[in-house]
Amino acid sequence: MTPLNIRVFVDVVDLLLRNTVDSNVFMFDDGSCRREGLGTSKLVSSVWPGQLVRWSLTPLDVQTMAWLTGVSFDGNAPAVTGGALPWTLHWQGYAPTWIPPGSHHAYRLTLVMGALSGRTVSIEGPSLFFVPPPQEGAFLAQPSPTPVERPQNPLQ
């Protein structure tokens, strides 16, 4: 089963100026099934039970950094506040196997921007939509492409 990759683009400067999350967070996925809200902070991505989901954060300002400090599901975890130490631009995990097809599984992304003690923002509204798992053999694994051999760098 191929992973689902979710890309989160953030206009850090506008968020630091206290503008809304809805107008400064843009989310996309590479799923092949039903999707809603592409390019918004309310992305609904279709997943299969047990599928690997990868989130990647890309700040749109090269001089002002942002970090993904947490992903919480169904709003059960409180938003990160204060000086929580950010740890990554990527997060991954497996979609739960116990959620029935046709169900939405809401999640919250928490970001810290500007500096380690910068502004903390929660992105609430995106969700995973569970679809029935593919039938045996419906999505056959494809071999990886043959690596391209690169010429030796004469300067090394």
H-run or E-run covering 52? strand 52-59
Tens-digit pLDDT profile for residues 68-96? 877 877 655 444 444 444 456 788 888 88
Amino acid at 139: F
What percent of the chain lies above the pLDDT cut of 70? 73
Candidate CATH numbers 2.60.40.420, 2.60.40.3120, 2.60.260.20, 3.30.830.10; the one for domain 4-130: 2.60.40.420
Q: Which DSSP letter does residue 10 get?
A: E
pTM of the model: 0.75
Helices (runs of H) and strands (runs of E) counted in the chain: 1, 9
Contact 134, 52 (CB under 8 A): no
Alpha helices in 2-154 (DSSP H): 12-16
CA distances from 65 to 86, 112, 116 (A): 11, 9, 9
pLDDT attached to residue 8 = 93
Q: Is the pLDDT of residue 138 over 50?
A: no
Sketch the domain layout of the chain as residue ranges: 4-130
